[in-house]
Amino acid sequence: MMFMHVVGARPNFMKAAPVMAAFKTRGWRQMLIHTGQHYDELMSDVMFMQLGLPQPDVNLAVGSGSHASQTAAVMTALERVLSQNRPEMLVLYGDVNSTLAGAVTAAKMGVPIAHVEAGVRSHDRSMPEEINRLVTDRLSTVLFAPSSRARENLIAEGMPPEAVHSVGNVMIDTLEWSMSQVDARAVLTTPGIPAGTPYVLVTLHRPVTVDDDDLLHGVAAALSTIAEMHCPVIFPVHPRTRSKLGPAGHPRLHLIGPMGYLEFVSLQKNARLIITDSGGVQVEAAHLGVPCLTFRDNTEWPETIAAGANTLIGRDPQQLVRAATHALSSSPRPFTLPADWDGHTAERIAEVLERSCW
Ligand code: UD1
């Protein structure tokens, strides 16, 4: 029995690391394929090193491109790798283009697919990730849902209940592991501002936020206002956003490059408030107990909203200033997240596969 894991973009790496580690403990044969969707040192190499992921057995080096060309490039290259190595199961993570490409290629070659983070839905098909999630889930053999809500989504879409396993959120496994690493390495937390200063942490990279020049400049002005009124704002900028954003408009607005996983976790853990349009950051902020404002109209993580850990604020820069002002002047309320977001998801995934494949 050989498992082949496919990863390609930054949010895949922290999901694959604990699963590969759990499989390794069991002595299972596995291969790691990196599609090369993300290729910058800070977006990929540093993450691999910090997360203890093995060097990929194959790097497809597809790089950037339109959605169709990037997906097609992964499919073409992966088809060759699959026919040469013939794994018994392909393991896919999350919702990036590499995930979709892996699902379509494997399904057509008759290779069973396990999807980690299945059933997550924003119900917004203008998001490329939603299309990737719908197609990947539809084609998967075993679906690992991160919550009972995700499981219900899959059942409502007609997936056979026996194929769907609610195992918890694998991102939390890595986040919990990282806490000791962050403390042990005394990771630098606040670049450009004195240690102990309260700060707001920002991540914005979705096309819907950063591809509209007027909106992006409105957001940049709102962040300057928050920096002026309240405290420093730290914004590690994704390459996609960097090319569109001008210089920082306020001395307390710190635009910095993408960060390693541990540096970013450390920044999250110590932030007073997080503003994001990312999916994963909403989950991490909730688990770390840091108030989060999600600069979007919808979320694929309603569990964080239901718990009161996260607030959806829409995409209006003025509302962003108002919501940040409110959040910074209130004390965070206690909340409870799903019980199986407990750091043991990869173990449960391995147990399910052990029962069904061996
Ligand atoms: C992808 C995922 C998104 C995830 C994000 C995390 C899809 C559809 N989207 O979006 O769900 O939240 O990763 O980062 O798969 N670039 C670089 N260096 C890199 C990678 C990208 O400079 O290492 C630049 C390129 O200009 C590229 C652009 O970023 O065209 C976008 O990269 P891409 O992989 O297409 O999508 P992301 O926006 O990163």
pLDDT reported for residue 195: 79
**pTM of the entire structure?**
0.96
Least confident range of 126-130, 332-336, 348-352: 332-336
Predicted confidence band of residue 356 (pLDDT cuts 50, 70, 90): confident
pLDDT at 183 over 80: no
Least confident range of 94-103, 198-207, 248-257: 248-257
**DSSP character at residue 285:** H
Mean pLDDT, to the nearest integer, of 85-90?
Answer: 98
Predicted confidence band of residue 318 (pLDDT cuts 50, 70, 90): very high
Distance CA 312, CA 333 (A): 16
Q: Tokens 């080096």, residue?
A: 61
Distance CA 323, CA 280 (A): 21
Question: In sequence order, which residues have a C-beta less than 8 Å from that of residue 18 and are 6 or more positions away?
Answer: 170, 173, 174, 177, 345, 346
99-111 pLDDT per residue, tens: 999 999 999 999 9
272-314 pLDDT per residue, tens: 999 999 999 999 999 999 999 999 999 999 999 999 999 999 9
pLDDT reported for residue 168: 98
Residue to mutate, 7, 15, 38, ligand 1, most ligand atoms under 8 Å from C-beta: 38
pLDDT at 220 over 60: yes
Q: Which residues approach ligand 1 with their CB closer than 6 A?
A: 9-11, 37-40, 43, 64, 96-97, 128-129, 205, 238-240, 278
| CA nearest ligand 1 atom 15, residue | 96
pLDDT reported for residue 188: 58
Distance CA 6, CA 34 (A): 6
* CA neighbours closer than 13 Å in the CB half-sphere of residue 76: 8
Nearest to 323 by CA among 225, 190, 241: 225
| CA nearest ligand 1 atom 12, residue | 278
Q: Which one is predicted more confidently, 183 or 256?
A: 256
Give, for 355, the enclosing helix (H) or strand (E).
helix 345-357
| CA nearest ligand 1 atom 21, residue | 38
pLDDT reported for residue 245: 86
CA torsion 304-310-315-316 (nearest 10°) is 160
Predicted confidence band of residue 181 (pLDDT cuts 50, 70, 90): confident
pLDDT reported for residue 244: 87
CA 92 to chain CA mean position, Å: 13
How many angstroms separate the Cα of 219 from the Cα of each of 82, 203, 213, 294, 295? 44, 12, 10, 13, 10
Catalytic residue among 5, 38, 115, 205: 205
Q: Is 115 annotated as catalytic? A: no
48-68 pLDDT per residue, tens: 999 999 999 999 999 999 999
Determine the distance separating the centroid of ligand 1 and the alpha carbon of 109, expressed in angstroms: 27
